[in-house]
Amino acid sequence: MTEGSDKKNGIPACRIRAVDVFCGVGGLTRGLEDSGIEVALGIDIDPACEYPYNQNNDATFCLKSVENVGASDLREAFGDVDFRLLAGCAPCQTFSSYNQKADVSDERWWLLRDFSRLVREIKPEFVTMENVPGLENHEVFEEFLNDLDRSGYYVNYGVVSCEEYGIPQYRKRLVLLASRFGQIELLTPEQFGAERKSVRMAIGELRPIGSGEVDPEDPLHQSCVLSDLNMKRMRASRPGGTWRDWPEELVARCHKSKSGKTYPGVYGRMKWTDPSPTLTTQFYGFGNGRFGHPEQDRAISLREGAILQTFPDDYKFVAPGKKVRKKALGRLIGNAVPVKLGEVIGKSFLCHVERL
């Protein structure tokens, strides 16, 4: 193992270089960099990811579909290094419990197979993957595990509760670590030194804004306009409550039906004292989940969502002068790997290397 004299966050510089496939806006990349791992390249098919990825990370963004990424691309990015880490978080909507319509005809179903192909072609020393827990129940994941086994990897995977690692959000994720050198494990919250964090601790100091307002110093800290009816619903909502707390005249017709009563988590406020609910790609809308601000009469802002995903407070998502598009940014932020989870993953690999 080769070690340098530089340190980042108290972790000795170690010659682990990573490539982040399906990198998005850089949640995993930033977390790996924060842990002390060098990330050479991030690959994603979405051009909207290029500005935030390049602006906030040391790695370089490559606009390319994983289907068109070959071994030569990765070898060039990895260069001459002691340990190579291939990271891949395939888009998860196909496997999510929120998705009631996806089937094997959805092309995203097969993206994990392309990632597995890259592992077979490159045979990196380390592999990591993060996804929704529902992936465990699908044949494509079993195929991926079998491929890793045949390629000589020791594999460890399990469902992680993000709030246990200091992420201010109830979010469960499937995390897989693989090594060619022996058994590897994700650091426990105690080993990582995690402290649980509440919504208040995460976003309580941000400038108050109203429905439809924008923070003049941060265009990402803006909220959607509430209709008159939804403003009445918001004011009738209590932190941690549901639409069942409202007066009868405010209850939506669909909620009065049998199917509507199975969704008590919509139209609610977060609680200051707890982590937030799992952020979806539409967290900026009051009616899309329990995404109401704990005390201000509005849904949480894009910036607040990013902070709950543990992006730094000043993470740049939009180029100066460019319009903030809530739908596009909500998708990118909601789909991201929480930065702090990426740091846990990175430090787990560094600890593994130290034991070799």
Looking from the CA of 340 toward its CB, the CA atoms found within 13 Å total 25
The stretch 314-330 carries a mean pLDDT of 96
Structural domain harbouring 223? 199-335
- pLDDT by residue (tens digit) across 40-84? 999 999 999 999 999 999 999 999 999 999 999 999 999 999 999
Q: Do 123 and 214 share a domain, yes or no?
A: no
Contacts of 68 (CB under 8 A, 6+ apart): none
pLDDT digit string, tens, across residues 296-308: 999 999 999 999 9
Q: Is the pLDDT of residue 121 over 50?
A: yes
Decide if 141 is inside a domain: yes
Same domain as 287, residue 163:
no
Quote the CA–CA distance of 111 and 66 in Å, as a whole number.
8
Strands 214-215 vs 172-179: parallel, antiparallel or unpaired: unpaired
Q: What is the pLDDT of residue 229?
A: 95
The answer to whether residues 124 and 58 belong to one domain is: yes
Q: In 118-244, which ranges are E strands?
A: 126-131, 154-161, 172-179, 214-215, 218-222
Q: Please indicate, yes or no, whether residues 183 and 215 belong to a single structural domain of this protein.
A: no
**Quick one: 190 and 220 in the same domain?**
no
Burial state string for 229-265 with b = 16 or more CB within 10 A and e = fewer than 16: ebebbbeebebbbbbeebeeebbeeebeeeeeeeeee
58 assigned to some structural domain: yes
Same domain, 215 and 292: yes
pLDDT for the residue 258: 61
Residue 329 lies in a domain: yes
Task: For the chain, give the percent of residues with pLDDT over 90.
Answer: 80
Q: How confident is the model at residue 263 (pLDDT cuts 50, 70, 90)?
A: low
Give yes or no for residue 310 having a pLDDT over 70.
yes
Confidence of residue 142 (pLDDT cuts 50, 70, 90): very high
Catalytic residue among 14, 49, 92, 162: 92
Residues 283 and 304 in one domain: yes
- Element housing 350 (H / E): helix 339-354
38 with 110, same domain: the answer is: yes
CB atoms within 10 A of CB 354: 12
More confident residue, 130 or 98: 130
Domain annotation covers residue 1: no
Please identify which residue in the block is written with the tokens 């490159």: 122
- For the domain that residue 258 is a member of, what is the CATH number? 3.90.120.10
Same domain flag for 193 and 211: no
Same-domain status, 10 and 156: yes
| Pair (97, 242) in one structural domain | no
Residue 264 has pLDDT above 80, yes or no: no
pLDDT score for 9: 47
pLDDT value at position 11?
43
Q: State the average pLDDT for the chain.
A: 90
Per residue in 3-28, pLDDT (tens digit) is: 433 444 444 456 899 999 999 999 99
Q: What is the CATH number of the domain that holds 72?
A: 3.40.50.150
Query: Looking at residue 131, what is its pLDDT?
Result: 94
Residue 327 in any domain: the answer is: yes
Q: Is residue 257 part of a domain?
A: yes
| Mean pLDDT, residues 276-293 | 94
147/241 same-domain check: no
State pLDDT tens for residues 215-236: 999 999 999 999 999 999 999 9
169 pLDDT above the threshold of 50: yes
Domain count, the chain: 2
Query: Does 224 qualify as catalytic in the annotation?
Result: no
